[in-house]
Amino acid sequence: MKILVTGGAGYIGSFVCRMLQDEDHDVVIVDNLVYGHAEAVSAPVEVGDLLDAPFLRSVLDRHRPDAVMHLAAWIEVGESVSNPAKYFVNNTGGTAALLQAMAQHGVKNLVFSSTAAVYGSPRALPLTEQSETHPENPYGLSKLLTELSLPAYETAYGMRIIALRYFNAAGAALDGSMGEAHEPATHLLTNALRAALGRQRFTLFGTNYDTPDGTCIRDFIHVLDIAQAHVLALDHLGRGGSGGTFNVGTGKGFSVREVLEAIRRISGREFAVIEGARRPGDPAMLVADSTLLSHTLDWTPKHSDLETIVRSSWEWEALHPEGYARP
């Protein structure tokens, strides 16, 4: 199939595109390259914004995709608290614009990148797809608002849509060739690894959460396993399968302190940790129940043990201190 991947030059998007190409799909990317890297992908990149209606119409007219994978979004939780309008306009509004254009061009299948941030602070763990949603930050709310709109598009336009609520994306290519190159870095692992390499200081945000060691607990899922979930979701829709919402996680959480200790052990480096205040909108614990995804799409995480996540990320950061080389 020909697949249009929005945000395909970003961290997760680049892995999704590589895996789609490995499965012999024809990939076209739409990315504004604010945070994405054209150097990370081998597929054609249409540089532009989803809110630019003529641009989006032109892309769909010229490429006529069979399906869309939508990963383009702003993702910084803290920034979403201080500048919520940016997130609602881009994440919610941009997705609405994409869905409108898809409907006008008769594109029926969509895999939508959602987030565990839709849940907020859970009342019970692990989180299932039926768990209550009450996001604690505008980033999570911007994704939930889109999720709530999707059934209307399915009903009105005959679309079939899978929303993947993934938990904490982490890790890099096992050969160190691809990884996260988001500037400024937002993910825990990237910031801690850069501290281990002596390139920056590391701040631990919050040490008084109601957890065993006082730091946040997260369900870390390797980016390769997230990409595999996207490909399986696409195959499911391609075979005529119905849409739905699925968690993408391991069912096991690690605290920030546990991750830091794993980084010290694997890197052999010591580094200072500055203890800071909690960030607004950060729940204490998020752990997934991905049984529905496993049963429906025959998905099993293969690379999401903490050792593989940290070791692959360490190799990427050590080998690529400047991220993707630019011309």
Active-site residues: which are they? Answer: 139
Cβ-proximal residues to 212 (8 Å cutoff; 6+ apart), any chain: 255
Alpha-carbon distances of 315 from 77, 81, 179, 263, 267, rounded to whole Å: 27, 33, 9, 11, 9
* In the chain, alpha helices (H): 11-22, 53-63, 77-82, 84-87, 94-105, 138-157, 188-196, 223-238, 256-267, 291-297, 306-319
Q: Whose CA is closest to 36, among 70, 8, 10, 75? A: 10
CA angle in degrees (0–180, nearest 5) for 94-111-104: 55
- Give whole-number Cα distances, 52 to 4, 56, 73, 113, 172, in Å: 16, 6, 15, 20, 32
Q: Which value, in Å, is the radius of gyration of the alpha carbons in the chain? A: 19
